[in-house]
Amino acid sequence: MNAYEEHRTFMLTNDPRWLLTIDGFDTALEPTIEAVCALVNGYSGTRAALEEGSPVSRPAAFVAGVFNTPAQPQAPELEAPISELVVAANWSRLYIEVEGQPLRIGEVELLSQRRVLDMRQGVLLREWRVRDAVGRITSLRSLRFASLDNRHVLVQQLRLTAENYSGTIALESLVDGQVSNENHTIHLDQTAAQAIPVGQLLALQTRQSGYTLAYATHAALHGPTGDAILGTPVLAEQRVGMRWEWQAAPGHTYELHKLVACVTSRDSAQPEVQAAQLLEQLAAAGGSTLLAAHIRAWAARWATADVQIEGDAETQRQVRFALYHLIGAAHPDERASVGARALTGERYRGHVFWDTETFVWPFYLFTEPNTARALLMYRYHTLDGARAKAHALGYRGALYAWESTDTGAETTPPFITVPGLGRQQILTGVQEHHLAADIAYAVVQYRQASGDDAFFVGYGAEMLLEIARFWASRASRGNDGRYHILTVIGPDEYHDSVNDNAYTNVMAQWSLRQGVAAAAELARAHPTQWAALAAKLALSDAELHSWDEVADGLVTGFDTRTGLFEQFAGYYQLGTVDLRDHDTAEKTLDVKLGWEALQKLQALKQADVVMLLFLLWDSFSHEVCAANFRFYEPRTTHDSSLSPSFHALVAARLGDLALADMYLRKAARIDLDFTRKGWAGATGGVHIAALGGIWQALAYGFAGMRPSDVGLRFEPHIPPHWGALRLSLQWRGRQLRVVVQPSTIAITVEHGEPVALAIGKGVWRMIAAGETLSDRASATE
């Protein structure tokens, strides 16, 4: 099958639960559509901007890990330049003219348009018809994908039909390096634009960080009989590609097939050579082979990642949207992590936050452990940056950057200038320290779920020890003889400079104990490695003993009488607020009331104590979890996209299925509510942490998964209108299939060694490959 035949025969998935369909063209929604329909494969992300452009289009492509810090601040409010994810070359750029008239929305009449993101196959299909001022109608159909089989491969196809005219058509297919970030910063300079044996090569280099991005491209145009139409190579300043001019006949269709190979200096010492060689292989393989391999790769990934919900088609589609972007947000690359908007937009400059380990990372832990390991190795490789930050703030050990890029250095701006307010300090970088515990938690969870002892001995233990050392230095003994952690920001984020935030203190206490346990295990089971590491860190028995002392003496804010954690010291003395009519999409509470007024209220931005309940669930009684959820849930604004999913999770665990279902739907609409045109939505990229939270709500909440050192325990609660919840999980090298129905649960070990499983409060059972453990599940509302 050749290229033009392939495009004709490609078939979309016929199940609407796999499709995201957008009809028409709405200028207010277009930036959001570009993000939600982005083509992602973990290595690169391409916003779904119109190939030919429009007055509101914002084409942008990104390559994971490619950051740059410009010579000058990127915005007036900044005092110094900040590292940011670089907008890479626009590899799918098209320019189309009919008799000199550009076929660009805004310059011709759009008769119809439909875009469909086929999430099952990882393909974006677009169909549109336009009419120019003299009545010439052109219909077009494009197909694009970023290969999941070979993540360096990008493919674009176009069918163009002259419906009712004959005339001259000009078409340019380009890799366009004349790009800038949204703040107009130019990060890339050309280092090469040249012909290569099967196409053209464009090489670009980031101005300060020195990353090279090499693009090798091949494009061919075919007429209605399949004959090639001769074109002219384009080798311009920061642009390469092909240009064709031909005489079109009425009713005839012409097809473009374009291949792009992208290789960077992060991948190869000779990215230009590697890209050119890869392009030759792609051209020899042909488009049908590349598409088939791509679809097979997606099918394999969905086999281990899909979550199926019977009885709720819309929630099913929204869940698959979340999974599509999670799959496309990361791959096993130890030098890159997942930014707050993944590879779909520039919000937060592509920086990595605590969101990654707490919200996004668990999806990979249970569906693609190699990627989970790589994301933790990113934190190991940036450990020196964490040590430097702790030292700069006067502490010991390692405190990871609140906002991190490629080096691990803190990139949160210390000050910004706000019109009308002047110079304002940004406190998250110096006060929001729970990130250290969040990373320690991920290290422990990874070993528990993977059984990867080599990671623990070689990397994880060192991280745990340095994080514990930080917490021991961060806590201070008060006049009451107890240890306190003063002047912090907790996950809530609507209250700064508080003392003894419950989440921070309890997770610090947990981290200290994990550090002590790691040292004891290394000394017992790996004495040679322990001796070397203890010498490297200058770690003594006396210091380890002090960690126990701090952990035992830390104030947690827990009241045994009420069963409540006080979110921070003095929280109960704040004023109450009625949030029943609060609408985050309309205006967040900090905007409504102002920051100073907000500090005096019990209103929370997002889950804080509620999140603590989930992370350390088995440390608390059911009554404590229920009491704290009932207390803090009505005080939470959900002004952060991180909040609804974890409220769904905890509500499901507590058996409040109506509330859990409401919060799940709320989380699922964050990027997909296209009815609220005044809301920013996913304009700056999809909310990848919210999407990761959806998976966690389903796995940990509704399916009731509770990992432990023994094995996996399930205590499911699903809404009665769900016929079934099905998900696949990987656990210590075993592949599991979980099926939850309103009154039953069945866990099948599909392959691997026997594994310990339990249901509800039942006993542990060893289940071998091919066997199923089943029991009645809870269906209470």
Q: Which residues are catalytic?
A: 493
Q: Does an H or E element contain 546, and which?
A: helix 541-553
Report helix, strand or coil for 458.
helix
CA distances from 75 to 184, 413, 414, 426, 683 (A): 9, 12, 14, 16, 19
What single DSSP character describes residue 737?
E
Q: Does an H or E element contain 470, and which?
A: helix 461-474
CA nearest to 778, candidates 721, 696, 726, 718: 718
Alpha helices in 568-656 (DSSP H): 589-593, 595-598, 609-615, 622-632, 643-653
Q: What share of the chain is helix, strand, coil (3-state, %, to 5)?
A: 35, 25, 40
Angle between helices 461-474 and 369-381 (to 10 degrees): 50
List, in order, residues 6 or more apart from 198 with CB less than 8 Å away: 218, 279, 280, 283
Written as six digits, the tokens of 380 are 């190991």
Rounded CA separation 553/88 (Å): 51
What single DSSP character describes residue 735?
E
Other residues' Cβ atoms within 10 Å of the Cβ of residue 366: 26
CA angle 736/740/746 to nearest 5° reads 50
Written as six digits, the tokens of 242 are 């092909």
446-454 long-range CB contacts below 8 Å, 24 or more apart? 446/365, 446/369, 446/372, 446/373, 446/376, 448/707, 448/708, 448/709, 449/365, 449/366, 449/369, 449/707, 449/731, 449/732, 450/365, 450/369, 450/372, 450/373, 450/732, 450/733, 451/732, 451/733, 452/369, 452/373
Rounded CA separation 50/48 (Å): 6
CA angle 520/522/528 to nearest 5° reads 130
Angle between helices 369-381 and 383-392 (to 10 degrees): 40
C-alpha torsion angle, residues 78, 81, 85, 91 (rounded to 10) = 100
Alpha helices in 286-382 (DSSP H): 287-305, 313-327, 355, 361-367, 369-381
HSE, side-chain direction, 13 A CA sphere, residue 314: 9
Amino acid at 620: F
